[in-house]
Structures are given as C-alpha cells and as structure tokens.
Structure 1
Amino acid sequence: MSGAARLVTLGVVAGAAAWGGLAAGERGFTVSSLQDAAVMQVSMLLGRDVAAMPAPEPTGAVIYWRHPDGLPEWSGTEAVTADGRAFLPVRSSEDISLDPSDKPVAAPAPEEGGERTVLYYRNPMGLPDTSPVPKKDSMGMDYIPVYEGGDGDEGSVTVSPGKRQRTGVRTSEAVLAPLAASLRAPGIVVLDERKISVISLRADAFIETVADVTTGSTIAEGAPLVTIYSPEIASALAQFVTDVRSEGRQREGARQRLENLGVPGEVIDRIAIEGQTTVSIPIMAPRSGVVLERMAVEGMMSEAGETLFRIADVSTVWVIAEVPESALTDIVPGSEVRVSFQGLGEEATPGRIATIYPELDLLTRTAKLRIELPNPDGLLRANMFADVEIMLDQTPVVQVPEGAFIDTRDRQVVILDLGEGRFRPEPVIVGRRGGGMIEIVSGVVAGDVVVSAATFLIDAESNLNAALAALAAPDSAPEAKP
C-alpha cells in the first residue's frame, strides 16, 4: 500500500473511532481495551508487528474493582467471585462508563414465580424517545427495556460505585436529636426594679449636712446620708421624751408617730434610753449600692416627698431582649441563653429567660424577654448593648444535614439511599434549621439514609427517568358513548 493510501485509510479509521466512541461506552469497553484495538489496527495498516508496539499501562488510582469475566458486577473494595477469583482493579485512566443502567444489556431472566412485564423501551442515550417494541437507535444501540414495578416509573435511579465516587456522592443518616437551633436578638442592660431605693422625707425639713457621697459613689447599708431638722419631727420627739420621763415607759402611739414621720428606729431607741431629745435627725442608706442621683444640698428646704437620693443595688442586672412575634412559639421561660457584650470581649455569659412580657410593641411587633444576670464585679452597666443568643426548643426532632435538602420552590425533596446503588427522591416537609442541620417534619424517619452531597446530580437523573416514564405511559382510550 502506498503512503498516500495509508494516510487516507488512517483518516477513515480516525473518523470511525470518533463515531464508535459513543458506542464503545455503551458496550462496556474501557480505555485500555480501545487503545489495544487501535494499536492493532494501526499496526496492521502500517505493516508493523503488533508485538513491537506495547499497550500503555493503566494509570491513576484504583477507583473500583470489576468482575473478571466482564459481567455487570462492581465493588468499591477488593472482592472475589463465587468461584474464588479476584475482581480486577480499574484505574481512573480506564474508566469510561460505569453506570450499568446506561448499557444495552439483555433483558434479565424472569424472576421465580412469574415474568416481569415490559412497559416500553427507552432511548439508550436518554432522549425523550420510547418504543412499545424492541428497536435500535440511529447508531445501532439497543433500546433499554423498562419493566412494570421497576425503578423507571418511580423516578429512582441506580448509580454504580465508580460513578458515585467520581461525582462525590456522600450519604448521612437521619437522626432523632435536639436541634441545635438558636435565635439572635438585640438586648439592653437595665437595673433590677426590685433593688432601687428612693430616699425622701415624710415631713418638711431643712437639710443641715450631707455626707460625702456623689452620683456614682458606692455606699453601704446603714451609712448616714443627711441630717435634717424638721419642726414637725421635733414636736413629736418632745412629746415622746415627755412620756418616757413621766411614765417611765414608751407609749405605743408616740413611738408610732415618730416611725410614721421617718425617724429611724435606732434613733428612737437611743432617745428612749437617754431620755433626751435631739434636734438633728440622721437619715441612713436603706440598702447597699451605687448612688444613681443626688439632689440633696446643705441648707436647702426639702418638702415632704421630694427626692434626695436614688440608690440601686447592681449586684444583679436585667437584660431586656426583643424577639419577633413569629419566634414566640419556640421560646418558653427557662430557655437557655448566651449573652455577650461588645465592651467586655467575646466571652458569652450563660443565663435563662426569667420572664416573657405579656405585651407586644405595636410598631415593631416584637416581644420583650427578661434575663437576670449576676453582676458581682459591677462591669455590667445600665443601657449597655447586648447580643442575646436564645437556644430554642430542645425537643428531639428528626434532622438531616442542610446539604441533603433540595428546594426548588415547586418541590422540596431529599434523596433517599435505598441501598445497592439505588436512590429515590422523597418529598418532605421541613421545619427549623440550626447547626448545619434541618428538621424534617414528615417524609423521612430516623435511621433513613439520605444523600448529603451531589444531590442535584442524582435528582436531575431521577427527574429524567420520571419524565420518560410519563411520556411512555399509554393514554387512556376515551370511553365509547352509548
């Protein structure tokens, strides 16, 4: 054969190889077998010895093991046949098509107890073309039978081990456990309403002296704040001293009057023992805390009820958080929270919800929650901003990874792993999310295995199978009218 003829023949062989590549994948040939055949044909055309052209060695990692006789059996690990022969390793350079459902294989043998009914034959290339009888496509490949009760009419799909590894399919088990869901809400620090005291007089009086305390000063319980002179109190004291001197005992009425005017009990006892009255009456701090406000000034005239001091015990503070109205169903008193403050670092302070306020804000449609936090060091100050993380209801629920959930707005599904490489989309109703997991209200139970990665690839293939089944379903003949 001349050189020109050989070149023409080589071009024809190359064109035929391009067309035959598709059929080769369907027939189950590997890259290695195709290379061997190509080497043999080219060697014959060029007149060379085939033995002189060694086939390239397979390269790449072993991705699965195949049956030594070429049967449609694979394994993700090393395995042996029924007669004890080892499966052959298939490396990445040899893999072309690993899905047995795409190969034009013969119809399986009837199951014991009866034959399966063939519904139709589908196009081997996945085109929307079906036939009620066996046929071949334009490239000579046999149409694939779809049986009654098989996967084809349910949208399920079978994926071989090699294809699963190649596409990165991973599965996870649905578990029944508390969902690590939380809600973040803004908060603000306020003082404990039960630990605020207002110091005022119950009678008109003059302020004689004021203790060396100012706004922000820390004061102990019983420490003197002011001394006062009140004509009304002085008159009551004189009557009390007269009763003690004349009768040698205290009259309950006189003592009660002094207590009603705000005279401390210690002062009354001392006057009763000494038998002498006093003009200046000291007023002491009713509790330990921080002075929030000082209005007393030496020499001033203070009317009854006028505020002289405001003192608050800051050993415990409140954090008021606001949450949306829609979140109230998942929040109950006693729920755990973590509160963090921008000015105090990233470390969060644990706590619990003490009270859920009974009213909602009309404008913001939010509810207020009260959290009580200890403040022994006094670092938490009124009106500080807080970031509140509320741990929602911890009732165990069925949950799967968020990556397993497919939401196309028209449908919400997860892909169930049925075993032996078979997968099926399952409609679900979902609930809350948290910690990378999503609650499944219905559709999946604890223990089901779902696909958590490459879900869209399997879902797309199952949708194709379902569409083919719908196209192949015979239209019901219209009933004849009488």
Structure 2
Amino acid sequence: MTLQIKRLALLIGLPMFITSTVAASLSVVASSTHAQSAEQTEKEVLYWYDPMYPQQRFDAPGPSPFMDMDLVPRYADEGGDGASMLIDPTVIQNLGMRVTPVTRESISQTVEAVGTLGYDERDVAIVQARSAGFVEKVYDLAPDDVIPENAPLADLFFPQWSAAQEEYLALRGMGEPQLLAAARQRLRIAGMPPEHIAALERSGKASPSWTITSPIGGVLRSLDVREGMTLPAGASLARINGLEKVWLDVAVPEAQVRNLKVGQKVEAKLPAYPGESLEGIIEAILPQANLDSRTVRVRVVLPNSNQLLRPGMTADVTLSRDEDEALVVPTEALIRTGRRTLVMVAEGEGKFRPVEVRVGRETDFKTEVLSGLEEGQRVVASGQFLLDSEASLRGLTTEPEQSPEDTGPALHEAEGTILSIEDGMVNLSHGPFKTLNMPGMTMAFPIADPVLLEGLKEGERVQVGVSESDEGLVIERIEQLGDQP
C-alpha cells in the first residue's frame, strides 16, 4: 500500500517531502486492511484493478499489464457505494480534516492597476486655410500653450477674396437681388467664413485679410505657420486639444478583463495630488491586447474642469465591480490537477466523494463555484489531497458535466487493427485511449450492438469509440480506416 501511495504521489506531481506524509497518514487504513486480510479472502470480489490505472477493471486476478505488480481486488463491502468511499472516524481525526459548508455570499471583484493620463481625442479642433494665401502675422504662441476659446492665432491674406468682395459691393448698389445672391454664394465658395461676410455687409469695405482664431479652449498641440509663408487651400495651420476631460489609459491584466464592464466606476489616485482621489467611469474596453505585457487597455474618462490633470501623469487605479451573490468555497478546498478542478464532498457518516467543479472569481481566500456544487453541501478544506489519493487508489472517478442535450455516454476513442472477431467480441490491437490515460495494448472488447460488426474483417484498421460500463470497456462505435499497411 505504501509503495502504491508513493507511486500515486509521483504520478500526480506531489513533492517528495509530503509523499511520506501521505503514506503515514493512510497507514491506519492500510494496517486495518492487512489485519483483515484473512477475512477478506471469503468476501465477494467485485473486480480486480491496477491502482495506477484504477479506471481499468479486470474480471480475474493476475499481473498488471501496466505496471510490474499484481492486480488488487475490490471487495463488495469495503465501504462506499462505487462513487464514494468510507473513511474511519479515527483516521479522519488523525489526519486533521476540516470540513466547511458551501455558502452563497455577496462578493465583489477589485482590480488594482496603473494608468496614464492622456488627451481626450474626441475634443480636438483642426484649423485650416480656406483659400490659397499668405501669412501676414503669427501671434506670440508656441506648441503646448494653453489658450482660451477664440484666441487669435495668425493673420492671413487671401488675394482671391479681394476680387470677390469688390464684385459683391458693386452688385449691392445695383439693386439686383438674384445677382447679389450669386455674388454672396461666390464669397462662400471662396472660403470666407459667415462672420466675415456679415462684417463686409455691415461695413461696406473690402477686407482680404482674416485673423484665424481657436474654435475651442485647450492646449495648442501644433502651430504650423510662420510669417511670410505661402499657404495652399486646405493647409493645416493649428491643432487644439480640449482639457475639459482627460482620458485615463489603464493596463489591466487580461485575466481580470472578464470582471470589468463599460460604465463601471473607477477610483484613481495621482502621486501629484496625495490624499485626493478622483472618480470616473469606464468608457471603453479596447479590443486589442498587448502581446508583451499580456494586458488589455481600458479607457476611463475623468472630468478636468479645474485643469489640474495633465496628460502624461500616472495614477494608481482601483476598478471595483458591484457586489453580487455567488456560491463560494474556501480556495484551499480546491484540488487543481491541471486538467480539471476537484473538491472532496463530505456526505456524512464518514463518506467522501470526489466532485469536479467549474470555478470563477477568487476574492478574500474564497473562490466562486459556477457548477458542480449546491448550497449547503460540505466540502473538505484540509486533508483533501490525502482523500484524493485514496479515491484514486480505489478507482473512484468523477463523471464529466453533461449538457441537457447530451444524454449518451461519453466515448473514448483510439485506432487499432482487428486481430479476430469471435462470439460477439473483437480482439483489437489498439493505440492509447488518451482520455482514459490507457496505453496501447491488445485486448478483447464486447460490442454494444452486433450490427456494428457487419462488413468488418480481420486485419482491417479501425477507429473505435468505447464507453465505460460495469462489464468494462464496450465498443459503441467502430469505423473502417482501410487495410493495415
């Protein structure tokens, strides 16, 4: 028994320094078993099995085809019901097992991250030349200056405007409404803004110069004009970013993104203003992740009416999700094998049963259970690894969760060559059944339906799907792959 436990500990990856603990802790069970060996010779044997491959059952004793050891009998009254195992209360006390209930609690997920302030790229104004002209004057400004709305940027001269304005003034004195409307339309086509046309109508004087101003208040990001420059129509002159709001760009680990949603509240603390915190909301969870840092960018909008927040500053960000009800167990109760997650359910009177669960969020040393358990059940929170080892030795397995539509048995697939077909049995030299952790070998399989054997012959390559039953592995599906090369 001790050798089997050590082999199992190595198989599931337990460190060697606890392997001895496992063996010693279960020695009470082992010694009790040896003490009753004479009595067990008269008990009913259900089947024989290899403790290293407990899912494979044999009808007779003999050497194991998997390991260099003899098969072990499983007796009818060893305790348990095939899905659970019975542990003596003295053993439970010696192992120091602790059992805790499955509860439904209010949990909230908090994510801590770091963000950087940036400009609101939606609050942007681009100033362009409406016509070809010249730069007469540039006001005393430079990039990154903070300017108010309607701040003058430069004076431009447009020769095309001069002729169009003179034509308009001449037609205005002729009293021809249609011609005057056409002249006004030519002014708009020439690029004159409405306010400049209105000033021409009021003053009656042509003015081919125009002072361009900032349409919004904010930061002058660029100013691409100098005195004496020649400007083509449509040339960009300046770019202004508003400062009423700023964007906080937060890098969130991709594993935490599922706990976030648009509109969620965010708290930010800036090192520049210790003791103060700002509140914002998540405006967008950007679609592309960073391959180097494995993070996803989250955009948060922060108000900045006093303009104390400056793009480029960093912030410590707390993203908290609203509390909701969830089924939880202590995180220490989980047995993570790498392929699945198990818990040991205490059923009372010393009975324990392994159950596969699907888990979600983790918070405050508790883990959300999405499926596999119900409120009020009791799970082992301490000593569960020893029970899991014993469950593996006894051949107890958990059944995979099935959808309502999936009512048929799970099939395990492998390829092989038919050696013989006799009395409804197929003697098959098959490869490994990976889902059973069963290596390739030669063995005979019963057929669930004799119709499956029609058209099959010795030497053919086939792919089989088998299910587990009380009689062992049964072929539920068999397909021809062609003759053996």
Residue among 307, 311, 314 paired with 2:240? 311
Q: After TM superposition, give the deviation of residue 229 of structure 1 in Å.
A: 1.4
Change in Cα spacing, 1:232 to 1:466, as seen in structure 2 (3 Å) is closer
1:440 aligned onto 2:346:
no
5 Å-filtered alignment, 1:2-13, equals: none
- Which residue does the alignment assign to 2:10? none
Q: Which runs of 5+ in 1 are unaligned?
A: 1-100, 104-121, 136-145, 471-475, 477-482
C-alpha deviations, 1:363-417, integer Å up to 9, x for none?
9887655433323333444455566666679775422221221224476332434
Higher Cα Rg, which structure: 1
Aligned length: 336
Q: Note closer, same or farther for the CA distance 1:223–1:434 as it changes in structure 2 (3 Å cut).
A: same
Match of 1:211 among 125, 130, 139: 139
Equivalent AA in structure 2 for residue 199 of structure 1: V
Name the SS for the 1:445 alignment partner.
Answer: coil
- Aligned partner of 2:37 in structure 1 is 131
Paired amino acid for 1:378: Q
Residue deviations 1:64-97, cap 9 Å, x none? xxxxxxxxxxxxxxxxxxxxxxxxxxxxxxxxxx
**Match in the other structure for 2:185:** 256
Picking from 161, 168, 184, the partner of 1:233 is 161
* Cα offset, 1:162, TM superposition: 11
Aligned position for 1:171: 100
Instruction: After TM superposition, give the deviation of residue 224 of structure 1 in Å.
Output: 2.3
- TM superposition shift of 1:460: 1.7
Q: Deviations over 1:126-179 (max 9, x none)?
A: 5655335399xxxxxxxxxx9949559733446579949x948362433265x5
Does 2:359 align with 1:431? yes
Task: State the AA in 2 paired with 1:291.
Answer: L
The answer to whether residue 291 in structure 2 is matched with residue 291 in structure 1 is no
- Distance in 2, matches of 1:263 and 1:274, equals 16
Change (3 A) 1:155 1:298: same
* Whole-angstrom distance in 2 between the partners of 1:441 and 1:468: 28
Query: Secondary structure at 1:251's aligned position in 2?
Result: helix
Select the residue among 439, 444, 460 that pairs with 2:386: 460
Specify the alignment match of 1:180 in structure 2.
Answer: 108
In the alignment, does 2:310 pair up with 1:404? no
Give the counterpart letter for 2:164 in structure 1.
Answer: A
Give secondary structure in 2 for the equivalent of 1:377: coil
Report the CA distance between 1:231 and its aligned residue. 0.6
Which amino acid is the alignment partner of residue 386 of structure 2? A
- Taking the aligned partners of 2:293 and 2:393, their CA distance within structure 1 comes to 48
* Contact 1:225 1:283 survives alignment (8 Å): yes
Residue 261 to residue 172, structure 1, CA distance change in 2 (3 Å): farther
Counterpart-to-counterpart distance in 2, 1:102 and 1:363: 50
Partner of 2:125: helix, strand, or coil?
strand
Aligned in 2, Cα 1:458/1:357: closer, same or farther, shift over 3 Å? closer
Answer with 314-323 or 442-451: which moved more: 314-323
- The code of the aligned residue for 1:431 comes to V
Report the secondary structure of 1:215's partner residue: coil
How far, CA to CA, are the matches of 1:217 and 1:338 in structure 2? 29
Question: Hey, what does 2:85 align to over in structure 1?
Answer: 155
**Letter paired with 1:195:** D
- SS of the aligned residue for 1:194 comes to coil
TM-score under structure 1 length normalisation: 0.55
Residues 1:151 and 1:187: Cα distance change in structure 2 (over 3 Å) = same
Q: Which of residues 375, 384, 388 in structure 1 aligns to 2:304?
A: 375
2:203 corresponding residue in structure 1: 274
Contact 1:356 1:368 in 2 (8 A): yes
Q: Within 2, Cα distance between the matches of 1:350 and 1:218?
A: 25
In structure 2, what is the Cα distance between the partners aligned to 1:208 and 1:381? Answer: 33
- Corresponding residue for residue 191 of structure 1: 119
The residue type equivalent to 1:460 in the other structure is L
1:354 aligns with 2:260: no
SS at match of 1:234: helix
Structure 1 residue 293: Cα displacement: 1.1
Q: Deviations over 1:160-214 (max 9, x none)?
A: 79949x948362433265x534566665544333321121212222222223332
Structure with the bigger percentage of helix: 1
Structure 1: distance between partners of 2:213 and 2:289? 41
Aligned residue identity for 2:130: R
The whole-number CA distance in structure 2 between the counterparts of 1:260 and 1:169 is 85
Distance 1:102 1:365 in 2: 47
CA contact (8 A) 2:99 2:346 kept: no
Tell me what 1:450 maps to: 379
Give how far 1:236 is off. 1.8
Q: Which amino acid aligns with 1:288?
A: G
Give the partner amino acid of 2:352: R
**Secondary structure at the residue paired with 1:193?**
coil
Does the Cα contact within 8 Å between 2:262 and 2:284 map onto a contact in 1?
Answer: yes
Do the aligned partners of 1:264 and 1:283 also contact (CA within 8 Å) in 2? no
**Distance between the aligned counterparts of 2:172 and 2:234, measured in 1?**
30
* Contiguous gaps of at least 5 residues in structure 2: 1-25, 42-74, 397-470, 472-485
In 1, Cα distance between the equivalents of 2:357 and 2:276? 37
Question: Is the Cα–Cα contact under 8 Å of residues 333 and 384 in structure 2 kept in the other structure?
Answer: no
Q: Please give the secondary structure, in 1, of the residue aligned with 2:131.
A: coil
Cα pair distance change 1:340/1:132, threshold 3 Å = farther
Task: Please give the root-mean-square deviation of Cα atoms over the aligned residues, in Å.
Answer: 4.6
Counterparts of 1:462 and 1:327, CA distance in 2: 30
What whole-Å deviation, never above 9, does each CA across 1:340-359 have from its counterpart, x for those lacking one? Answer: 65655586654444345566
Could you tell me which residue of structure 1 aligns to residue 17 of structure 2? none
Q: Secondary structure at the match of 2:122?
A: helix
Partner of 1:240: helix, strand, or coil? helix
C-alpha displacement at 1:312, in angstroms? Answer: 0.9
Contact between 1:319 and 1:373, CA under 8 Å: does it hold in 2? Answer: yes
Q: 2:345, 2:353 within 8 Å by CA — same for their partners in 1?
A: yes
